[in-house]
Amino acid sequence: MEFRTLGGSGISVSHLTLGAMMFGSIGNADLDACRAIVHRALDAGITTINTADGYSAGESETVIGRALEGGRRDEVVLTVKTGVSPDGNPNHGGGSRRFLTSAIEGSLRRLRTDRIDVYELGVPDPHTDLDETLAALTDLVRAGKVRSFGTSKMPPSRMVEARSIAERRGHGVFRVAEEPYSMLNRAVEYDLLPTARRLGIGVLAFGALSGGWLSGRYRSGRDAGAPGSAVRARGGRMDADSAENAAKFRAADALGALADEAGLTLPQLAIAFVAQHPAVSSVVIGPRTMEQLEGCLAAEHVTLSPEVLDRIDEIVPAGVSITVRDTMWAIGSDGLDARHRRRSMR
């Protein structure tokens, strides 16, 4: 397994990260099977695990904590997101000192560890000053509960603002950005990835399979069937027949044909594409089953030729996202929501 440095943190990570969003009731409710997936990933050389306190109401963290018993905790780099309120109560989420100092204790308990390697603000909090958030995260580092910290779904302008505040106020800085990136969702190439490289921020790229669109199921003449998990079925986003998804279906079909020509599966092509960007430290894979994990592991040694990369650019141009909301930048950043960009409000 290849290792890369996570930005300027000094932390080395495997170029594939095991994402644990599917561990628990929203994905795979068989917790023993989930633990087996963790062990197989570790045995395959993956040393980085990504989870969040909100995944299946903490079940994901519990699974990982138990899977790492017996001395395996020191083998891995744990990256954990927080900040999403499970019940809509603003004090049960966000980036306030009040919430962060409480949330860290729950994660440490469920993960059965005394420290988290990378603690991430999972969604930007428009109601809390970045100075407050950075100060609280810096104090968690000083207390030894966190080794480094980062953010997720944060647009590049806010990343630059956060760096300026940290330098003025003497806080620690965001060393990690966890962002969605795929062959169908390339907007991060335009500004975020270059900005992260300049600031020494390591990128954990998630969504390489674009929420299942690049799993290989969405091909002409093939019945995609129902989504395999409840979270994939929400909101009809996996409906290949909807007008909104027509362009996404055509691109996924063309990319699948390209993968066939290259002698690869579509997931292999998708993961290798994201991993090959120089700003990406690690690609987060989120398997729900052991079969899905094995499919992702098969991309480990795949390097795409310039010719294949050029063909991908012909299907989805660099810097373009077919569906804008896939960038997720409007989540927690009110100014990027379409309603707030209008010249007049009705």
In percent, how much of the chain has pLDDT > 90? 81
Task: Name residues whose C-beta falls within 8 Å of residue 303's C-beta, 6 or more positions apart in sequence.
Answer: 272, 276
At 154, the amino acid letter reads: M
Task: Name residues whose C-beta falls within 8 Å of residue 70's C-beta, 6 or more positions apart in sequence.
Answer: none
Alpha carbon distances (Å) from 23 to 6, 49, 56, 295: 25, 12, 7, 17
pLDDT over threshold 70, residue 228: no
* Contact indicator for 306, 313 with CB cutoff of 8 Å: no
pLDDT at 230: 53
pLDDT over threshold 60, residue 326: yes
pLDDT over threshold 80, residue 243: no
pLDDT at 90: 83
CA nearest to 207, candidates 36, 327, 114: 327
The model's pLDDT over 95-114, given as tens digits with 9 standing for 90+, comes to: 999 999 999 999 999 999 99
pLDDT over threshold 90, residue 265: yes
* Contact indicator for 128, 94 with CB cutoff of 8 Å: yes
pLDDT at 238: 63
Characterise 206 by phi-psi region: left (phi > 0), alpha (psi -120 to 50), beta (else).
Answer: beta
Q: How far is residue 222's CA from residue 211's CA, in Å, rounded to a whole number?
A: 18
Up-side HSE of residue 112: CA atoms within 13 Å toward CB?
A: 15
pLDDT band (50, 70, 90) for residue 345: very low
* Contact indicator for 107, 66 with CB cutoff of 8 Å: no
Mean pLDDT of the chain: 91
The model's pLDDT over 154-211, given as tens digits with 9 standing for 90+, comes to: 999 999 999 999 999 999 999 999 999 999 999 999 999 999 999 999 999 999 999 9
Lowest-confidence pick of 134-138, 178-182, 224-228? 224-228
pLDDT over threshold 90, residue 244: no
Per residue, the 3-state secondary structure of the chain, as one string, reads CCEEECCCCCCEEECEEEECCCECCCCECCHHHHHHHHHHHHHCCCCEEEEECCHHHHHHHHHHHHHCCCCCHHHCEEEEEECCCCCCCHHHCCCCHHHHHHHHHHHHHHHCCCCEEEEEECCCCCCCCHHHHHHHHHHHHHCCCEEEEEEECCCHHHHHHHHHHHHHHCCCCCCEEEEECCCCECHHHCCHHHHHHHHCCEEEEECCCHHHCCCCCCCCCCCCCCCCCHHHHHHHCCCCCCCCCHHHHHHHHHHHHHHHHHCCCHHHHHHHHHHCCCCEEEEEECCCCHHHHHHHHCCCCCCCCHHHHHHHHHHCCCCCECCHHHHCCCCCCHHHCHHHHCCCCC
How far is C-alpha 125 from the geometric centre of its chain's CA atoms? 18
Domain ranges of the chain: 11-332
pLDDT band (50, 70, 90) for residue 240: low
pLDDT at 221: 63
Lowest-confidence pick of 49-63, 168-182, 228-242, 331-345? 228-242
The model's pLDDT over 112-130, given as tens digits with 9 standing for 90+, comes to: 999 999 999 999 999 999 9
pLDDT at 152: 96
CATH class given for the domain over 11-332: alpha beta
* Contact indicator for 214, 255 with CB cutoff of 8 Å: yes
pLDDT at 194: 97
In percent, how much of the chain has pLDDT > 70? 90
Instruction: Please tell me which residue, 231 or 178, carries the higher pLDDT value.
Output: 178
* Contact indicator for 107, 80 with CB cutoff of 8 Å: yes
Instruction: Please tell me which residue, 346 or 244, carries the higher pLDDT value.
Output: 244
∠ CA 26-29-34, nearest 5°, is 105
Q: How far is residue 222's CA from residue 240's CA, in Å, rounded to a whole number?
A: 11
* Contact indicator for 240, 46 with CB cutoff of 8 Å: no
pLDDT at 31: 92
